[in-house]
Structures are given as structure tokens and as C-alpha cells.
Structure 1
Amino acid sequence: MTDFECSHTWAEAQDAADPLRAFRDEFHIPPHDGRDALYFCGNSLGLQPKGVAAALQAELDDWSNLAVEAHFRGRSPWMHYHEYVRDTMAEVVGAMPHEVVAMNSLGVNLHLMMVSFYRPTAERPAILMEAGAFPTDRYALESQVRFHGFDPARDLIELHPDGPGGTLSMQAIEQAIAEHGHRVALILLPGIQYRTGQVFDLARIVSLGHAAGCAVGFDLAHAVGNLPLTLHDDGPDFAVWCTYKYLNAGPGAVAGAFVHERHARADVPRFAGWWGHDKTTRFQMGPTFVPTPGADGWQLSNPPIMALAPLRASLDVFHRAGMTALSSKSRRLTAYLDWLIRSRLDDVLDIVTPNDPAQRAAQLSIRVRAGRDAGRALFEHLERHGVIGDWREPDVIRLSPTPLYNRYADCFGAVEIIEAWRRSVTA
């Protein structure tokens, strides 16, 4: 049983009582026909925090007024700029500050991490991954297998969905590790499956993988900023993520990486760069690479200031809101959208994302029962009426009520617009 109601009045009352309601005003909401659009696409690109413009302008002003001296005399000296996002990033992912670093893009960081943690041998050449993974992961993993002289047809082991709607059970993961673990060098799985929105049990996967002698890493693109994470305690060897989705750092924003502290001072193979060198001796310009302890030691180049400034502004919002409060609202907001769809649209829509709150976060993936063409028609109807979600082939519409800026009234309004589409196609 729930206390949910199908009414604008009820939804607006929930929004009025929401302790996080003021954070919506800290974001630019796209307009549609003179009102705010109903934006459910934080899973693809988060909205712009209003603080980003000032954050960028401050760095532009320092560049203009100080030029190279802004590295040392700026309001936020550029020499240390990546460190300004370290503590808040660690809060969001449940890590020690020295275990995280903001750098590069997700795909680049994934390759850098595999240089260190995919160390195949003739006896252990394989990578265990999900079938239907996001293309970045599939391409990167296949190319790494080939680079090391192995055959992806044999040594890229893919876990195929065995659950409702294309989901993957924990039992299937356990069985695959039991069967193949002896020849697996690396397990690489997502925190949240991008198409279905399914959340995986990271701690359990790490435990099983390490017990089988495998390195374990995660792509957390759809998990970071979306659900509480405990990377340090869960213990993966590494994780990578982007920051332009739920972390709202802007299109193509600088990404993040986690390296567990047990590797902080280890002699781990890596591709080295100047900015990864121990910062106490970096400017001695010596020929021998001495890595900075922790995740910073995987940096290649000096920090991209104009890319980090928006991330810094957004992480400040997360710090003030707190992941615990955001997660609490997210669970209830997503449950409300789920309940509305099941209560009012069960005859036309299926929800792919697991109904179990432990296996989902903000994202709901839906399919139109009438098939792909009808799904595309609904998606285009939503766009015309100011409901912004996204489409993933072959037939999934993703709607993600994000707790920092989405409201209960947004969920109710979106369902009303879907109901209008249903009436139009059945009239």
C-alpha cells in the first residue's frame, strides 16, 4: 500500500513539503511554450546549475587579469585545481579523497585503468562483461583483448540477460564467475545498466570476483550522483564515470576515476604522464617517473580548468543537499512515477526497470506494448508536448525523475500527456 494519489493537488502538496524543493531554483530549466519543460533526461545530460556561469567567469577573469600567474595567484590557483573537487567527489562516491581524481573522459579513463588492472596471461586472458553493454565499454574491452594478442570471440565473456525485460540476475553473475573465474583476468560491469536502469550489487560482485582471483572494475556512468555509493568499502580495484549526467557538469565534462587505496603506493603498471608524477618533485623535471600516491598518480596532464569549474559548481550543490537526502527523495519520486504508470497506463506500457527499490535508482525504462513504431510515436508525442526523456534502441524510452530538480508534479504531468497520446491513438 502507498499514500500516492492521482491528482495535481496531491503532487503539488508533496512538492510544497519537499525539504529539497529550493534546489530546483538553482538550475536552468529549459522552456517549452511559455512554461518549464518536464525534463526527465538527467540520465543523459544534467541541467545546468546556475552557479556554473559565475564559476567559469571567475576563471576567465583570472586568465584575463593574471594570465600564467593565475596558476599561483588566482582566487583558486590553477596548480591545485583538480584538488578542489576531490573531497566532494569522494563524498558522492563513498571513497577516501586520495582514491578519486577528476580527469580526462570516461573512455580514456577506462583504457588507463585497464592498462593497470587488465593484466592477461595465457591462463587468465578473459574479461567478463555484460552483453548489450554501452558501446564505449564494448569497444574498449574488445580492443584491449586484441591489443594483448587474445581473441575476443573466446576471451570476451558476455553475460546475457536472463530476467524480465532484459535484466540480469545476480544468480547469472555468480554462475558465470563460478564457471569462468579461473580464466578471467578482469570483471567489468556497470553500476546501473544504461538501457534497463537495473542497479547491480557492487559489493557482492567484488567479493565473488576477488575470491576467484579476478580484478574488478565498474563503469558508474549512470550510478554516480544517482544512488549512494560506497566504493571504498565495496573494494573494487577501480571505477570510472562521467560527470555530465546526474552530476550536471556540462556536455563532455571532465570525468572521474577511483583507484582503491590498497593500490595507492603499489608498483602498478600504468601509462605515465607529467601530472601523475609526485607533486613534491614534479617541477624538478627529472627523467624518472615517480607516481603521486593515490588516484592522482594516474593523471597524464595538468587539469582542464574550464572543464573542472562547472563540476566544482555542481558538486557544491551535491554537498549542500547530501546524497542521503537526495537518495531518499529519489526513491519516493521514482516510486510515484512507477505507481502512476502501473495504475493508469498498464494497458499500454511495460516498465523494464526492476520494481524492487534495491535494484533501481532514478531511471525508469519503459516500452510500449504495441511495438517499436508505437514507442517512437509516443516518444515524439512527448517531445512535442515538452516532456524531455530519451530513446534507446531498439524500443526503450527512458524517463529519469532527478531529485535535485524534478517534482512530483512533473511526474503527474508526464503521465497526463501519455494518457492524451493513448486517447488519440485509440479514438
Structure 2
Amino acid sequence: MAAVAPPKQPGTYTFASQPRAVPQRKKYRDPLGQQEEINPPQYGNIMYDRRIVRGNTYAQHTLPAHAQPDPIEIQRQQENRRRAIARKRAKEQLRPRSPEPVDGRKHIDVQTELYLEELSDRVEEADVEIQTDAFLDRPPSPMFVPAKTGKDIATQILGGDLFDFDIEVKPILEVLVGKTVEQSLLEVMEEEELANLRSQQRAFEELRNAEFVEQQRLEEQERRHREEKERRMRQQREVLRKEKETAEKIAARAFAQSYLADLVPTVFGTLSDNGYFYDPVERDIEQGFLPWLMDRVTEQLEKSERGRMVLDGLLREVVSRRREAYERLAKTAHTEEPKAKPAPESKPEAPKVTIEERPQAAPATTTETENDDRQDEGGDDDEEGGGDE
């Protein structure tokens, strides 16, 4: 028997045998029933032959030798098997059953069909035999006939002496008719067997198509379930993400409130300390009125000082003039004293110098203040010019 190589990959059908020469087969059997001992033919049982693939092959998936089984596919097959078993168990549980018998009685199977039939534990069997053509026997070896050495002698036989057609044709005709009837019966049986095979094949194809449709329906149902599961998981992840985002926003808002609770007073205090928040009246007084007042006071002091200086100059001039006048009078008195005493002269009055100071009010606006300053400067110039005169 040919050596069978072990399969390379479990789950994939492979077969390999060692090459060998095909022995020559004789045309006829050995009449003595003796077979040659050289290269005797070896026969095996096909039930245990690994070259025979059992089961249906319409759904068999041929995988390469290096392919590994998909664990997801195996898990899916196991899940389908468990679902089928659970569905079968559920159908058995949901199938209506007869109530339990009362005490002292028991259920008995009773035929309720229209026509009763005899029930028996023995299955009816029928034996069918098919006669096949037998092997042709090897014709016997011809007898050894030595070469002729004598003379041939013939005997004349007339018609009807040795052969009677009616008698001799009867067995031949029986053989021909029997053979013809037998061949026709064989052909009819072969046609019936082919018809049965076709009907079985048609039923098998219908069953296979129904199983294939059921398989497609189950696959579509599994796909819908898987898509629904993924959609639900996406929705749940989105809900969790939104919840997490909401919690983070709430935490950030609480942290911002707690952080900004003391920040606003601190910022306002710092800005107030740095002078960013002020009273407009006070700021206007500090930046507008007080500088203007100081300028006016300084200007008034300068005017007073200039007036005193002018007055001092005028006094010096008047004193110097009166002294010169007195000196001249003294000289003339010394020269005219012997003649006559002149009448006493009236003293010349000193010129009066008055400096008018106009009261000035606080400016309402900066423009009015500048105009007043310009007018005051013009008045001062006039007064100085008058004083000089």
C-alpha cells in the first residue's frame, strides 16, 4: 500500500504518496487460481483511506498550507453552534406536550391516522442484487497436435443427415432472447437508478440552497447585530465623553470662581493704590486749580516785588532831586543873604505813584485762564510803562 505523508497543517486536507511503478495486469485470469508472488497487488479499505474526503464538499474552504486558522472565525463558529443548540433547546421547551398522567395511569402511543398500520420494531428490508459481467476466463491451452504424417480421408454427408434447424436453433434462440430480456431489464433498472439519483441530487441541491439561504440570513442578522452593537458603543462613548467634558467644565468654572473670588478686590485695591481710580473734582483741583493758583500767587509776588523796586527807584530819584534842590537853595541863600531875606518857598510835593491791583477770580476753564494770563501780562506792561513815565 502507498505510504501516506502526514498532513502539514491541521484543518486542511492534503495527501501525498510515494511514486511507484504500475504493475502490468494480465488479460486473463490464471485458471489454477495461482497468482504470481512478484509484486502482489495490495488492496486497502477505502473507509480508512485518507484520500477519501467524507461529508459535503460544497461549503469546504480550501486554505493554503501556511495559513493559520482565524481565531475570530473559530469563535464565531462556536457562537453560532451555541446559538443553534440554544434555539433547538428553546423550541423543545416551547413545544406543546401532553399533561402528566394521573396516579395509576400512564401514556400509551395510539395511532390516530385514518389507516392503521402494523407497528413493529423490526425494520422492513429488501434485498436487491445486481449481476455484473464476470471476468473472462483464459481460454484453455490448445492441445498439442503433431504434424500430419498420413493421408486425409473425407466422408460425404448429405443435407439433413447431421443438422436439424428447428432442433438446433432452439437453444440458440433461447440464449439470444434471454440475453436480450436480461439486457433490457438491466437498462430499465439502470434508468430507474439514474432517476433516483437525479431526484436525490435535486433534493440535496434544494436542501443545500435552503441551508445556504439560512446561512446568509444568519450572517446578515449577525452583521446587523454587530453594527447595532458598534452604534450603541459609539453612542455610549459619546455620552461618556460629554459627561466628562461637562464635569471638566464644571470643575474649571468652580476653580475659576474660587480663584477669582479674591482677585477682583485685589486688582481694584492695587489699581486704587496706583492712582487709576480717582475723584474727578479732586483731580481737577490738583491738576488744574492748584497749579493755576500757584502761578497767580507767584505772578502777584513778582508784581509786588517789581512795584517795590519801582517805588524804591522813584523814592531815590525824588530824594536825589530834593537834595539837589536844597543844595541849590542853600547856595543861593548864601549868596543873597546880605541883600534881603526872601520869602520862604513852599516845599515841592513828591509825585505820587499808585499801583492798581485788580482782583482776579479762579478760571472756569483752561482757555479762560490762558486769556486772563495774557490780559494780566498786557496790563502789567501798561502799568510798568505808566510807572516809568
TM-score range, shorter chain: under 0.3
Q: Which has the higher contact order (CA 8 A, sep 6+)?
A: 1
Whose radius of gyration is greater, 1 or 2?
2
Q: Which has the higher helix share?
A: 2
TM-score, with structure 2 as normaliser? 0.17
Q: Which has the higher strand share?
A: 1
